[in-house]
Structure 1
Amino acid sequence: MAGVGDLIGQSVWDSEGVWVGQVVDVRMTRNRRGNFGMQQQFTVSGLVVSHRRAPVMLGLTRDPDNRTSWLFKMVFRVLYTGSSLVSWDAVASTGNGEIMLRKPVKTLERV
Structure 2
Amino acid sequence: MTGRVLHAHLHLLDRQVVRADGRLLCKVDDLEIEWGEVPYVTAILAGPLALGPRVGGVIGRLMTGVTRLFRPEEDPAPPRVPMSLVGEIGSAVTVGGDVPEASLERWVREHLVDPLPGSGGRDPGLRGPRPVRRSEVPARDRLSSLVGRRVVDRDGADVGQVADVRLTQDGPLLGETTQALRLSGLVVVPRHTGQLFGYERGPGGNSPALVRAVIRRLHRGSRFVGWEQIGDPGDPIRLIEPRAALLPLHELFTRDDASASA
Residue 70 to residue 9, structure 1, CA distance change in 2 (3 Å): same
Residue 76 to residue 36, structure 1, CA distance change in 2 (3 Å): farther
- Alpha-carbon distance between aligned partners in 1 of 2:216 and 2:152, rounded to the nearest angstrom: 23
Corresponding position of 1:80? 219
TM-score (norm 1): 0.75
- Structure 2: runs of 5 or more not aligned: 1-34, 36-140, 250-262
Q: CA deviation at 1:14?
A: 0.4
Bigger fraction of residues in strand: 1
Residue 28 to residue 73, structure 1, CA distance change in 2 (3 Å): farther
Residue 32 to residue 5, structure 1, CA distance change in 2 (3 Å): closer
Q: CA deviation at 1:68?
A: 3.1
Q: Which amino acid letter does the alignment assign opposite residue 181 of structure 2?
A: F
TM-score (norm 2): 0.35
Bigger fraction of residues in helix: 2
Question: Which of 1 and 2 has higher RCO (CA within 8 Å, sep 6+)?
Answer: 1
Q: 1:2-17 alignment to 2 at 5 Å?
A: 2-17=141-156
Q: Which amino acid letter does the alignment assign opposite residue 9 of structure 1?
A: G
Corresponding position of 1:19? 158
Q: 1:25-104 alignment to 2 at 5 Å?
A: 25-31=164-170, 34=173, 35-37=176-178, 40-57=179-196, 60-61=197-198, 68-71=205-208, 73-74=212-213, 76-95=215-234, 97-104=235-242
Query: Contact conserved, 2:172 with 2:180, CA < 8 A, in 1?
Result: no
Identity in percent: 31
Q: Which amino acid letter does the alignment assign opposite residue 70 of structure 1?
A: S
Q: Pick the structure with greater CA Rg.
A: 2
- Which digits, 9 at most, give the CA deviation of each residue in 1:15-40, with x for residues without a partner? 01101000011111012774334xx5
For the aligned residue pairs, the C-alpha RMSD in angstroms reads: 2.5
Residue 76 to residue 25, structure 1, CA distance change in 2 (3 Å): farther
Residue 68 to residue 32, structure 1, CA distance change in 2 (3 Å): farther
Query: Contact conserved, 1:22 with 1:53, CA < 8 A, in 2?
Result: no
Q: Say how many residue pairs are matched.
A: 102
